[in-house]
Amino acid sequence: MSQGYPVTAQPYVHGHTSGHTTVVMTTTSQVKQTRDWSSGLFACFDDITTCLCGTFCGLCLECQVAMKMGEHCCVPICVPGAIITMRATMRERHHIEGGILNDCCMSYCCGPCVLCQVARELKHTGEWQIN
């Protein structure tokens, strides 16, 4: 046990024989720091090109976002609620504040804005290389 884990011996009784069992206890002190989105939900003027694409050709942008996130480009076409999944994945991947209920509500009420926000976040994190 050279990894520095605390070890304690606990007595036990099995039938008529008594002995000791070794318990290895580990602690994880890694607390994930969460952050906010790099841009707000309605911050379309931060990236007007993405906003226009999301407004007038949302499915094209959604397919691009899926590919930039490592998914097949047909995910938005074949998977109902794909934008919810992509937003939740982005949040988890980059430790962004929020929860699945918020992802669902935002995607249902403001789908194009959520799509643009995820695209902006991909650009912010460098996953979407701008040529």
Give the C-alpha separation, 59 to 122, whole Å.
Answer: 17
pLDDT of 1 > 50? The answer is: no
What's residue 85's pLDDT? Answer: 93
Give the C-alpha separation, 28 to 11, whole Å.
Answer: 26
| Torsion angles phi and psi, residue 30, rounded to 5 | -85, 105
pLDDT band with cut points at 50, 70 and 90 for residue 128 = confident
Segments making up each domain of the chain, as ranges: 44-125
Note the pTM of the prediction, 2 decimals: 0.73
What percentage of the chain carries pLDDT values higher than 70?
A: 75
What's residue 18's pLDDT? Answer: 55
Q: What is the pLDDT of residues 75-100, one digit of tens each?
A: 999 999 999 999 999 999 999 999 99
What's residue 112's pLDDT? Answer: 94
Q: Which of the two residues, 66 and 5, has the higher pLDDT score? A: 66
Contact by Cβ (8 Å): 117, 39: yes
pLDDT of 56 > 60? The answer is: yes
Written in H, E and C, the secondary structure of the chain is CCCCCCEEEEEEEECCEEEEEEEECCCCCCCCCCECCCCCCCCHHHCHHHHHHHHHCHHHHHHHHHHHCCCCCCHHHHCCCHHHHHHHHHHHHCCECCCHHHHHHHHHHCHHHHHHHHHHHHHHHCCCCCC
What percentage of the chain carries pLDDT values higher than 90?
A: 69
Please give the average per-residue pLDDT across 24-29, as a whole number.
56
